[in-house]
Structure formats: structure tokens, C-alpha cells
Amino acid sequence: MAGAGDPRSSSVFGARVRRKEDARLLSGHGRYVSDVELPRMLHVAFVRSVHAHARIRRVDAAAAAALSGVVSVVAGDDPEFARHRLRACSALPGYVETEQPILAWPTARYCGEAVAAVAAVDRYVAEDGAVLVGVDAEPLPAAVDALEARGSGATVHDGAPGNVLLSRRFEHGDVDGALSDSAVVIERAFRTNRQTAAPLEGRGGVAEWNAAEDKLTLWSGTQVPHLARHGLAEILGLPQNRIRIVAPDVGGAVGVKGVLYPEDVALCLLAMRLGRAVKWVEQRRAGAVRLRAERPAVVWRPRVGPVRLRPGRDAAVASLTLLRRVEYARRELRMRRPPLAVVFVGLLIIALGETAGAVMSQLRPQIVRYAQSRVAANAQAHGLAGSAEYDSEITARAVYSAEAGLSFFHTHAQGLGPLVIFASTVAATAVPWRRARGALYALFALGALFPLGYLAYALAALEWGRDAGIEAAESYILTPLGSAAIVGLVALGALMVMGARRGRAA
């Protein structure tokens, strides 16, 4: 039976594909752009901007033009070159369409942009001539960072004041909802490096103009011959049937040969002007600088959260292929956070409890003195009789009661603060009814204030006596607030059971 991978299979999927070009290419019989040789052909070298952003004041071609073998030197201010522009169109809403010159004039907008072209009888003379071209340029503020470029003063195109050509937002599904349901949400800023492709064969082209037939032929190592023909026809004002694009063997492209470049147009214009074929093969160094740079300094701010997982099972949560990063959640853990106010109350009680403990330790003599003075001031409430021994014992008991009140406040606050946070977290997670959760939060927040009763007791015991202090603290604070905490905890248990039953029923 012929299946996938079987050469006899009629399906292309999974079938071996016979490589037809290997023998020719491996035996050195491939034909690339650089192999194209035409009669009287000239060679072209480009002079490139060394500035990321500059105003070009003057291009001095005299020395280059005087060099033996140089046939022509053109710059961006040449009227024939200046009137032609590349224009990338898009139907996307908000897209800012900008024009790109064939040779930069009067502004160079990136490092490596072609400023002038030298056509000579051979490649060596052309390169020597390019070196002799003098470019008088005034550097301008450059935008070299994608984030900083946005809204910066270094405007690349006047038509795009904020340096934004297109702004798009992609959304799919309920992102916020999914993130809020996630056990772990990771939010980081990632900065990617600027990158560019480096095919084995650099870019290049050979342009030939047949004046007798008004036909233009461009040999180009392109991935998109039809796009190139369409673009050239539009820019040069020629019918498409007068333009022929020949894409010979391509020594790799990696995407960078998928667009029409200004150099392609410049070759065609030179060929049409000079009436001779012109050839240009990119230097590796020029390609590294000039080629379409991708994702330069792009900052990604992903928020990655795990998708809903099956309880108790480890699973990959989310991956961004871009980041080559996968986060794992150990287990389903969706502990919801209670409202800020409840957390704040719990935290406040913890902080107060800590402080009270430190105060008790560090200011004990002052506390004792204060307590003794209050007992003396409230002699009747404490039943002081005027007997030194008796009164001393009474005072010591009252002071002890006040210290005990502070100590109870310290220990209860330390215990109830975390309790409120944890109990309200359980309520937020396990109680499905919003109003019930709200009631629980209120009960827990009130319960968290329960330790204040001991603080009140410490003060009241000094002012009104031990028994009256206990009674007041119990009546007004300890009993109601303690009851709130107890009711809240019992209700939480009941609501959790009801919630679990409802979940099972659903």
C-alpha cells in the first residue's frame, strides 16, 4: 500500500520530492545574477549615507566623474531620479503612505541609504569612483530606538510626525478574563535585537533597455518578479508588457528579496539613460547595513497566564513562540484576591500588632509610669484606701492588667491579621455569590478589629478599674467584633459547602 513517504504515493503530503536542481547547482552550472554578462555592460557602485539621518547639502561628483573608466555619476538631485519615487500602498486604516526616493535627496533617512550611483566600465573602477564622490551632509537627530522614536523630535518622514506609519491592535477572545482566571500572570518587557537576513547571494541586478522596442529587462535575484514588474511599471510609467523581469537562480533570500528596492529602480533608470546594460552586485558589508532590518528594538509586553487547567494535572500554560518561552504551572491554583480594603485592614492590624509588641518592649518603664499615674488619678475607681501596702498591691494589679491588655492586643492582632487575609481569600475563591462574599468581607474586616478591644481594655482598666474596663471592652468591642469574626467563619464554612454542592450539580 502506498502511503505517506512512499515515492509511489499520489499525494504530495509526506511524499518525497525529487530535487531536480541539485545536479546542476552542485556541479557549478547554476546561473545567478552575477553570472549575467551582456555586451558593453557597465558596472554600478552606490555611494551610501554614513548617517542615520542627515540633510544632504551637496554631492560632489567631479572627482569621480574625472576618473578614467567612469561613465556616469548620478545623485539624488538629478531631475530624472528625483521625480521617481517608491510608494508602498496599503488599504489598512490609518496607514500613513510615504514616498521613498531612488537616491536620497535632500534627506538621508537611514544609514546605508543610496545617495549616489557610479557607473563604470568594470566593478573595480565603479567602486573607486564611489570612494571619490564627496557628500556634504548635515547630521540630523536620529531615531534609533523604536520606543523612543515614537513622538520623538527626530521625525523621519514629515508625513508621519510621530514616526508611526501604522498602528494596529490585535485582539482575540477574552484576554482580561483569561488572565484573571490564571494562577500565574507573568508580565515582562522583552526587547528583541535588530536583525537582518543574510542570504548567501547578496542582492543584485542587471538592467537592459532596448530603445528600439521600448523594452526594459531586469535580471534580478528576486522572490517576487511579478511584484517587481508591477512596481517598475508604475514608477517608470511603462506598460507592464514592456517590462520583463528575469529571476535566475537565487542564492537564498530569507525574505529580503521579496520587495522592490530603490537600487532596482536606479539600475533601470541608468540603463535607460545610458543606453547600455548596467549591473550591480551588492557587497556583503553594504547588505548588512542596508538590507531591510527587521524588528529593530521592538519591545514586547506580553502578559502570559495559564489557560484553564485540569485540577491536579501539570500542564504547559501558555507559550509565545516569539519568545521561545513556555511557562509551566505546577497545579491549578486560583486563589483569588479579596478586595483591597479587606487586605488593607488585615495588613493594618498586623502592622499595629507589630508596633505594639515593640512599644511594650522598648517603652515598658514609661508605660508602667503612665499606668501608675492613671491609677493614682482614678483612686476611687480602683478602690485605693490610703494604705501604702494595700494601694501598692492594687496599683500593681491594675498596671499588670493594662500590660496584659497590650500583650493581648499584640498577640491577637498578629493572629487575626493573617486570619482575615487568608479567610477572605478563601471566600473570594470558594464562594460563588457576590453578595455573600461582600457580607463575608465585611464580617472579616470587622472581626479583624477585634484586637482593638484589648487596647481599649488596657486604657479602660486604668480609667474605670479592672472590672469596669473588662465590661466596657467586652460590651462595645470584644463581643460584637469577635462575634462578627465567628459568624463570618461559620458562614464561610456553610457557603463553601453550598458552593461545592452547586458546582457538582452544575
- Which residues lie near other proteins (CB under 8 A)? 180-185, 333-337, 340-341, 343-344, 346-348, 350-351, 354-355, 357-358, 361, 411, 414-415, 417-418, 421-422, 425
Nearer residue to other proteins within complex by CB, 221 or 405: 405
Residue closest to 131 by CA, chosen among 33, 41, 34, 50: 50
Q: Estimate to the nearest angstrom the gap between the alpha carbon of 288 and the chain centroid.
A: 26
Structural contact between residues 381 and 394, judged by C-beta atoms closer than 8 angstroms: no
Nearer residue to other proteins within complex by CB, 185 or 496: 185
Nearer residue to other proteins within complex by CB, 111 or 359: 359
Nearer residue to other proteins within complex by CB, 34 or 414: 414
The contacts of residue 144 (CB under 8 Å, 6+ apart) are 52, 297
Smallest distance, other proteins to C-beta of residue 408, A: 12
Q: Estimate to the nearest angstrom the gap between the alpha carbon of 496 and the chain centroid.
A: 40
Three-state secondary-structure class, residue 198: coil
Nearer residue to other proteins within complex by CB, 348 or 439: 348
What does the alpha-carbon distance between residue 340 and residue 342 come to, in Å, rounded to a whole number?
Answer: 5
Residue closest to 120 by CA, chosen among 44, 178, 187, 225: 44
Measured from the Cβ of residue 105, the count of other Cβ atoms closer than 10 Å reads: 18
Smallest distance, other proteins to C-beta of residue 352, A: 9
3-class secondary structure per residue, 415-472: HHHHHHHHHHHHHHHHCCCHHHHHHHHHHHHHHHCCCHHHHHHHHHHHHHCHHHHHHH
Smallest distance, other proteins to C-beta of residue 345, A: 10
Structural contact between residues 268 and 232, judged by C-beta atoms closer than 8 angstroms: yes
Nearer residue to other proteins within complex by CB, 196 or 429: 429
Nearer residue to other proteins within complex by CB, 231 or 338: 338
Smallest distance, other proteins to C-beta of residue 179, A: 8
3-class secondary structure per residue, 231-270: HHHHHHCCCHHHEEEECCCCCCCCCCCCCCCHHHHHHHHH
Smallest distance, other proteins to C-beta of residue 326, A: 18
Smallest distance, other proteins to C-beta of residue 355, A: 6
> Please, which residues bridge with residue 134 across strands?
60
Smallest distance, other proteins to C-beta of residue 281, A: 50
